[in-house]
Chain A
Amino acid sequence: MEEKRSTLGQVIDCLALYNAAVVGMRPEDNIGLANVLQLLDGCFSEAYRAKEEGRPLAWINFGIPSEIFWAMDIVPVVVDVLAGLVAPTLLGSIAMRYIDIAQEHVPEYICGNNKVLMGAILSGEISAPDVFVHPANPCDSNLATYSVIAEHSNFPYFCVDMPYFKNERGIQYVANELKRLITFLEEKTNRKLDFDRLRQAMEYSNLAHEYFLKTAALREAVPCPYSSIDVWAEYPALLCMAGRPELVDYFKKRYEMTKEKVDKGEGGLTTGKEKFRVVWIYGAPAFDILLFLWLENEYGAVAVGNMNSNFVMKPVEDISDYDKIMMGLAKKTMLMPMTRECGGPWEDWLNPTIDLLRRYKADLAVFGGNTACKATWAIIKMVKDKIHDELGIPTLILEMDLFDPRIASSDSIKEQFAKFFETVLQR
């Protein structure tokens, strides 16, 4: 009987397929994606080999600073990136199978992202981590399912709690939580945090972040020097690789390439012309990244920005001592895209969104509304109205599951775009 491929093995297969399928279609437009896939392949391959190399393996949820883990030589697997990589229907959607398994145990309205991990565990295809760490934000689905999964499957977990307000007292709260996390990691993995290694990881992280911010500023140019897919592609790399030198190399190269393009007045599209500048103010279908190519080809609609790439927080400015690093990482953690938008007052979504739309000179906003994200659906009307009032631009509201095309298929999403362009945006 053929041995079942492990989940991490399947992720690595998906990365190879992605490279062949997406990058292969328009390699010149997807330089960023090609490089990011390489970075992710390196990262997941390390995770795949971790056990046999005797290195502890951690599952972490986005928002948890991977710098700490790399500094402690614990290999982090960002579970949200894992879910995103196995979601595309183009690659056979392993995610849907896991979601089905999970739904035998929990309601369908739990987030697809959480259900993918739950299904992977219940299928027996993913081996237990040494530790599982998640933040209390951004949503109840995370909060409820991850602690339950850990308890159900009996592996050690730690929740980095977060208060409602992102003020100095709140940042101190999270900094203390991160210190407790490090104690927990030391206990569970027998790895000691070495301060020099942490500072080194922070130096890499800061440098990469600085290049990212400079590149993000260049992306404001008209035409946008990035393709839609490249704008999206960098988010998983930022989550997985913060604290690694490879990320610095990538962003340095990207900055130089982007600057050259902007100086020449070139756009990111090698075919077609940028006609509409789209900003995705929340999610987008992880199950069909090719939707971006379709939008570019059909309407000249380039996704110039999105919530996830809106890493507008500053790098950790002072890395001279442990406490200051913890405060800096706490701030970064609280301002992590999506954690920032969903985990506090609604202004924490509205204000960065207005700023994003304005900076990127958006013609339209798209709300890729994950049905499970109740925290956004309960205020989207207010956000949409404010966008219109302040910027005079329309918002397309799409109801979908980011990981599962059975809620809204690619075709139905395209249909909604088509109607939107016909009726609202024709010019």
Chain B
Amino acid sequence: MSTLEELTALSRNPVNPAVNEWKAEGKKVVGFLCTYMPEEILYAADILPVRLRAPDCRETPLADVHMSHLTCTFMRSCLQFFLEDKFTFLDGLVFTNSCDVVRRLYDNLREIRPSDFQFLHFITVPHKVSEDLVIWYKDELNEFAGSIEKAFRVEVTEARLREAIGVYNETRGLLRELYELRKSESPPISGAETLSVVLAGSPLPKDRYNQMLRKLLDELRQREGISNYRARLMIAGSGGCDNPDYLGVMEELGGLVVTDSLCFGSRYFWEPVDTEGDLMLNLARSYLKRPSCPRMVENVGERGDFVKQMVRDFKVDGVVFQRIRYCDLWGGQLLYTKKDLKESGIPLLSLEREYMMRDVGQLRTRVQAFLEKIER
């Protein structure tokens, strides 16, 4: 089995063998939902951070009792998985004020499953970036580290935190190398495969993941590139875009997804964290200043600039801007994105979707029409 096949298989299941092995050693696992939560702090405490998602969730009857149909299907799917006991491997959960429905998942779980978790913590992430707020966020992170130490009787030492940041920076660097390969005229990896690789990393201890990424990069350098595509695509937009099959539909039609602006993609790992000086402050600064989600209010133009830079660097022919229905954050951003890309002469396909793979026929039709418009 190639490393790519191995990683792809790992990405399909929220509970992979690595988690089970970790648990078998008597070690703890803490779940989270949003990339504004610095995983390094958990890793430094020898706790496995696992970003939660609900792959292959097809319906949400249990969650629908608690969250109305006006709640996005990503969060309803996650609640469904909680209610189906698919996250029983978790020893704790950490939430952030990422968006309205993530906050409300926290509320629902506290009410519905009050005794399920040994550890439940909420971090306020500022919605703006300024030095004062970076310091405020640093205090939040220190409080978070303190609560982990207390709950799990562990210590988050400076040395362990430095080591953790180093390991995570290596992951970031390796994923950047993977993306570099996609800049080529004949990239050795598709968009769907790349998404699988990134997703596989979430429930893996990052030192182990880094080994696999190094091996993968060696294999990809030997792999024949993909050249029979009609257009190079970039995918951007909502959280919850974690289904490689969604990108697969676009690629079956001849589009090749060569880059993204996704929190399950580039935005997760794009910038390293400084390892000199006050480490908690570095984490706070880095996480607030990374390529942003629209939850950050003063970065509207920067988000546009990030997309346009990606378009230039990866020679993108068109941007697919997808968002999950009822995601206000990305829905609001659409006003700016449309204008910004139009003024820059970048073709845009705006798609609304559910978390589950539905309406594939409609997706195919929309993508087909877009490809006809932009193909080389």
Q: A159-B127, A377-B71 are in contact. Are A110 and B328 (CB under 8 A)?
A: yes
B9 to chain A, nearest CB (A): 34
Complex alpha-carbon distance, A65 and B275, angstroms: 41
A375–B335 touching, CB < 8 Å: no
B333–A144 touching, CB < 8 Å: yes
Is B267 an interface residue when CB atoms closer than 8 A count as contact? no
How would you classify the secondary structure of chain A's contact residues: helix, strand, loop or mixed? helix
Q: A140-B329, A159-B297, A163-B124 are in contact. Are A152 and B107 (CB under 8 A)?
A: no
Per a CB cutoff under 8 Å, which of B75, B111, B133, B336 touches A152? B336
Q: What are the residues of chain A within 8 A of B107 when measuring CB–CB?
A: 345-346, 378-379, 382
With A147-B294, A164-B122, A346-B111 already in contact, 15 other A-B pairs whose C-beta atoms are closer than 8 Å:
A105-B335, A106-B332, A106-B335, A143-B332, A144-B328, A149-B335, A151-B336, A152-B336, A346-B107, A374-B72, A374-B100, A378-B104, A379-B107, A382-B66, A382-B107
Q: What are the residues of chain B within 8 A of A176 when measuring CB–CB?
A: 132
Complex alpha-carbon distance, A295 and B200, angstroms: 57
A377 to chain B, nearest CB (A): 4
- What 0/1 pattern do residues 159 to 182 of A give for CB contact below 8 A with B? 101011100001001001000100
Q: What are the residues of chain A within 8 A of B298 when measuring CB–CB?
A: 147, 159
Is B325 an interface residue when CB atoms closer than 8 A count as contact? yes
How would you classify the secondary structure of chain B's contact residues: helix, strand, loop or mixed? helix
- Please report which residues of chain B, range 301-351, place their CB below 8 angstroms from some CB of chain A when the two chains form the complex: 301, 323, 325-326, 328-336, 338-339
B328–A371 touching, CB < 8 Å: no
Show 8 A/B contacts (Cβ-Cβ < 8 Å), sorted by A: A106-B332, A107-B331, A110-B328, A140-B99, A151-B300, A372-B328, A374-B326, A399-B70
Is B295 an interface residue when CB atoms closer than 8 A count as contact? yes
- Which residue of chain A has the shortest Cβ distance to B332 in the bound complex? A144
B292 to chain A, nearest CB (A): 11
Is A418 an interface residue when CB atoms closer than 8 A count as contact? no
Residue in B126, B130, B325, B332 whose Cβ sees the most chain A Cβ within 10 Å:
B332
Q: A107-B331, A144-B332, A161-B128 are in contact. Are A379 and B104 (CB under 8 A)?
A: yes
Q: What are the residues of chain B within 8 A of A147 when measuring CB–CB?
A: 294, 297-298, 300
B107 to chain A, nearest CB (A): 4
Chain A interface residue count, Cβ-Cβ cutoff 8 angstroms: 44
Q: For this complex, into which size category does the number of interface residues on chain B fall?
A: 35 or more
Is A424 an interface residue when CB atoms closer than 8 A count as contact? no
B126–A118 touching, CB < 8 Å: no
Q: What are the residues of chain A within 8 A of B108 when measuring CB–CB?
A: 378-379, 382
Q: What are the residues of chain A within 8 A of B323 when measuring CB–CB?
A: 107
B-to-A contact residues, CB < 8 Å: 65-68, 70-72, 75, 97, 99-101, 103-108, 111, 122, 124, 126-128, 130, 132-133, 136, 294-295, 297-298, 300-301, 323, 325-326, 328-336, 338-339, 352
Q: A159-B128, A374-B70, A382-B107 are in contact. Are A141 and B335 (CB under 8 A)?
A: no
Complex alpha-carbon distance, A182 and B334, angstroms: 30
Complex alpha-carbon distance, A110 and B328, angstroms: 6
Q: What are the residues of chain B within 8 A of A398 when measuring CB–CB?
A: none
Complex alpha-carbon distance, A374 and B124, angstroms: 19
B124–A164 touching, CB < 8 Å: yes
A374–B71 touching, CB < 8 Å: yes
Is A109 an interface residue when CB atoms closer than 8 A count as contact? yes
Q: What are the residues of chain A within 8 A of B297 when measuring CB–CB?
A: 136, 143, 146-147, 159, 161
B105 to chain A, nearest CB (A): 8
Residue in B99, B127, B130, B133 whose Cβ sees the most chain A Cβ within 10 Å:
B127
- Please report which residues of chain A, range 129-159, place their CB below 8 angstroms from some CB of chain B when the two chains form the complex: 136, 139-141, 143-149, 151-152, 159
